[in-house]
Amino acid sequence: MNMDLKDKQKTPLHKTFSFAICGIIHGFKAEKNFKIHAAAAIMAISISFLLRISLMEWLFVILSIFGVVSLELVNSAIERVVDLAAPGYHPLAKQAKDLAAGAVLVYSIMSVIIACVIFIPKFAHLIINFI
């Protein structure tokens, strides 16, 4: 599948979107962590609706979800390229994979912190009003 620049320029826009959607579907089907992030996203969205968060809070939730999912896809792509370039063990290949996974972890931790900042006070308010 060797494409030069002219071939890429001839690719219809709808096809490029199709390729991207295939990548997302493959990520969901093949990557365990992608499924975990998708489940966490569904949970965060559900809680956000239940707690009726503000527009600004929604923006942070959306940025967190899409950031983690995007990084997970990039991490998976890096893993594939590294496996292709270095089929056997190589310390630099391990470092590349570890760095990409670390990026997902850092963003995921930030997303959990954002969730705590948004949701804990709202849950506390519910509990106090319930008691």
Q: What's at 110, amino acid-wise?
A: M
Verify whether residue 72 is a known catalytic residue: yes
Residue ranges at the known binding site for a divalent metal cation: 31, 79
CA proximity to 112, closest of 60, 75, 73 = 60
User: How much is the pLDDT for 30?
Assistant: 94
pLDDT of res. 58: 98
Residue 122's Cα: distance from chain center in Å? 25
Question: Catalytic one among 71, 72, 100, 119?
Answer: 72
Q: What is the pTM of this model?
A: 0.85
Q: What is the pLDDT of residue 7?
A: 65
pLDDT score for 4: 62
Q: Which residues contact 38 (CB under 8 A, 6 or more apart)?
A: 28, 69
Q: Which residues are annotated as a binding site for substrate?
A: 72
CATH 3.90.1150.180 for domain 32-130, yes or no, is: no
Say if CB 88 and CB 44 are below 8 A apart: no
Residues 63-97: pLDDT tens digits? 999 999 999 999 999 999 999 999 899 999 999 99
Rounded Cα–Cα distance for residues 31 and 26 (Å): 8
- How does residue 5 score in pLDDT terms, banded at 50, 70 and 90? low
Domain boundaries, the chain: 32-130
Using DSSP, state whether 60 is helix, strand or coil.
helix
CB 107 within 8 A of CB 68: yes
